[in-house]
A and B are shown apart, each in its own frame.
Chain A
Amino acid sequence: MSYGRVVLSAFLTMLLMLFVAADLVLFGVLPLNSIVVTILPLAGLVLGAVLAIMARKRQSAGAAPAQTAAV
């Protein structure tokens, strides 16, 4: 998984959390002026990047034994 993929994952997770925040407002869970509406997309940005890095490491860990077996 490339760094570009990490950025893409972070961006997509941010948008996902933005829509989740919008859902929470639209369904009356949060008031419009809630700070949570701001925090959720930012948390999504960080979470997406972290998950993407974890996925990258996981992919690398999976690829290494496969290369060893091939040799």
Chain B
Amino acid sequence: MKLRYLSLGAVALGFVIGGSASHANADVPGGSGCEGSAVWLEDGLTIVAETDGGPYTIPRSDTVRWEGSVTDAPGVYSGSVTVELPPPFGEVEIDSWSGDSESTSNSGEHEYDFPSLVPAGVEFSVNGEHIDENGGCSGTIAFEIDGGPFDSPIAPISLGGTALFAILTGLALKPLFMKVI
């Protein structure tokens, strides 16, 4: 599962690292002049990290060609990709990186296939952050997987839980609904 989220995180902002090269990033607040883009090869979706935060609807499986760069040699760098959860749970880190590099760009392709348990149509925000010797930058992109709620078995389970606890709550509060003599 982590690897599948990793693929999403990787394509999300072009926050991708590989080998000794630095990774892509959004040209958003910060001073490293980060840039990143991703193209979904089958779907045709193109995201340029610095232009729009979404939400983007992505296919459940595809191959993403990504590329990213920083303006100057990063030197010692680190960064992470996280998915935002409801408060107070904060964020869950799906990928992180660190190293020492003089390369200013990187690119590659990544194939992903989310399992059916990952619900479609749910908007989730992916944050990316990169820090190197020239500064840092960060960005957020919102995604949802193409499809309807019943593409995942989670939705019927959740509806069943709602019905079950509605009945149990009604029984527990039965005196409230009974006519007082």
Chain B's interface: helix, strand, loop or mixed, by majority? mixed
Contact B155 A19 (CB under 8 A): no
Using known A-B contacts A19-B162, A23-B159, determine if residue A12 contacts B172 with beta carbons closer than 8 Å.
yes
Contact A1 B175 (CB under 8 A): yes
Using known A-B contacts A51-B173, A52-B173, determine if residue A12 contacts B165 with beta carbons closer than 8 Å.
yes
Contact B158 A62 (CB under 8 A): no
Contact B180 A20 (CB under 8 A): no
CB < 8 Å neighbour of A34 from B86, B119, B152, B168: B86
C-beta contact mask, B80-94 vs A, less than 8 Å → 1, else 0? Answer: 000111111000000
Q: Interface size class for chain B?
A: 20 to 34
In B156-181, which residues have CB < 8 Å from any A CB?
158-159, 161-162, 165-166, 168-169, 172-176, 178, 180-181
CB < 8 Å neighbour of B122 from A26, A51, A52, A62: A26
A66-B180 Cα distance, complex, nearest whole Å? 10
Chain A contacts for B176, CB-based, 8 A: 51-52, 54-55, 58
Chain B contacts for A46, CB-based, 8 A: none
Contact A38 B88 (CB under 8 A): yes
- Other A-B contacts than A26-B121, A33-B124, 11 sampled, CB-CB below 8 A, are A9-B169, A12-B172, A15-B165, A16-B165, A19-B158, A27-B149, A28-B149, A31-B124, A33-B87, A35-B86, A38-B86
20 CB < 8 A contacts A-B: A5-B172, A8-B172, A16-B165, A16-B168, A16-B169, A19-B162, A28-B144, A28-B149, A31-B124, A31-B142, A32-B83, A32-B86, A33-B85, A37-B86, A52-B173, A55-B173, A58-B176, A59-B175, A62-B180, A62-B181
Residues of A within 8 A of B (CB): 1, 5, 8-9, 12-13, 15-16, 19-20, 22-23, 25-28, 31-35, 37-38, 48, 51-52, 54-56, 58-59, 61-62, 65-66
